[in-house]
């Protein structure tokens, strides 16, 4: 196995979202723009409730990114045989992450 292929293999073992990096980057850059939009609304004295709506939109978009990462991570954990303590640890950190999200 070539070194490059080997590294790619290791990466695919380690991170479930490897194949989704480009679309995730695009979505995150859009969310950055949404937050910048909130700044502009505050600066431009926009109506409070409209700013709250824009904040909620950014948060929903972040939720969707988080769910995507969670899906890839879970799929990945199921793909790789997780044994004993390691598996319990994976489940614990996953559920803790969900606990912080809700």
Cα distance between residue 66 and residue 78, in whole Å: 18
Closest CB 3 distance from a second copy, rounded Å: 16
Number of residues near a second copy (by CB under 8 A): 62
Do 43 and 30 meet the contact criterion of CB atoms below 8 Å apart? no
Q: Which two tokens mark 21?
A: 């990096």
What is d(CA 14, CA 56) in angstroms, rounded to the nearest whole number?
Answer: 32
* Residues lying near a second copy in the complex (CB under 8 A): 11, 14-18, 21, 24-25, 28-29, 31-32, 35-36, 38-39, 42-43, 45-49, 51-53, 55-56, 58-59, 62-63, 65-67, 69-79, 82, 87-88, 90-95, 97-102
């Amino acid at each position: 196995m070539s070194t490059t292929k080997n590294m790619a293999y290791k990466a695919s073992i380690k991170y479930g979202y490897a194949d989704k990096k480009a679309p995730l980057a695009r979505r995150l850059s859009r969310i950055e723009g949404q937050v910048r939009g909130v700044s502009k609304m505050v600066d431009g004295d926009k109506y409070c409730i409209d700013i709250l709506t824009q904040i909620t939109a950014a948060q929903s978009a972040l939720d969707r990114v988080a769910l995507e990462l969670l899906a890839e991570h879970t799929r990945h954990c199921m793909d790789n045989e997780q044994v004993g303590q390691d598996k319990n640890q994976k489940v614990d950190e996953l559920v803790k992450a969900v606990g912080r999200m809700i």
